Structure 1
Amino acid sequence: MKKIAVGAATLALLAAPLAAAPAAAAGHGPHPSCWGQASAVFAQMQMMGEHSSSFPTPRVGLRNLARDLAEVGAIEDDSMADLGVFVATELGLEIDACV
């Protein structure tokens, strides 16, 4: 339960509601470059850029967040590509490498 709460808090920082997670991840087959392209867009939107160490502990980190979301079935697997699809979808973005 603690992992879910920490993951949800991190998602809130990325402005992506956890409630729509299963619908967001379903049916996407992202390319490996999805997270790279998505994070560039998130940074340009000023929705990303703080390192996890700048937040209160426990620090989740993006890789651990992907693992937590996969564990609860919010994304298909724990890859950064699937995390990119999830966040981009939640923000309503269509990023070429993530569709």
Structure 2
Amino acid sequence: MAHTYTRATYVWFVAAVITGVASGFLHLVRSHAAKDDAAPVALTILAFGLTGVTALLIFRGIMAAADEQDRHAREQLARNRALRGPDASDRAGQRDRH
């Protein structure tokens, strides 16, 4: 398939990578900062909150990519129909019925 992604898709995935790295770093700091099995609550909340944001960014990036691929497929279909002309689709439909 041809390259159908736009800059917006890349921005979503780059943002997800950045927040994912920051989240992983916070989880590491949280696990090493724990003293007497009591991790700092604010750091724990921040680490898990950033993990959730990362998941949402990945989901949004996937949805943006799927939308762009669908739009590209619709444009290709419309372009192909315009090249064949209106009668070509009618003939193809009649061929399928017989």
TM over 0.5: no
Q: With the length of structure 2 as denominator, give the TM-score of the two structures.
A: 0.24
- Does 1 or 2 have the higher relative contact order (CA < 8 Å, sep 6+)? 1
Question: When the two structures are superposed, what TM-score results if normalisation uses the length of structure 1?
Answer: 0.24
Bigger Rg, which one: 2
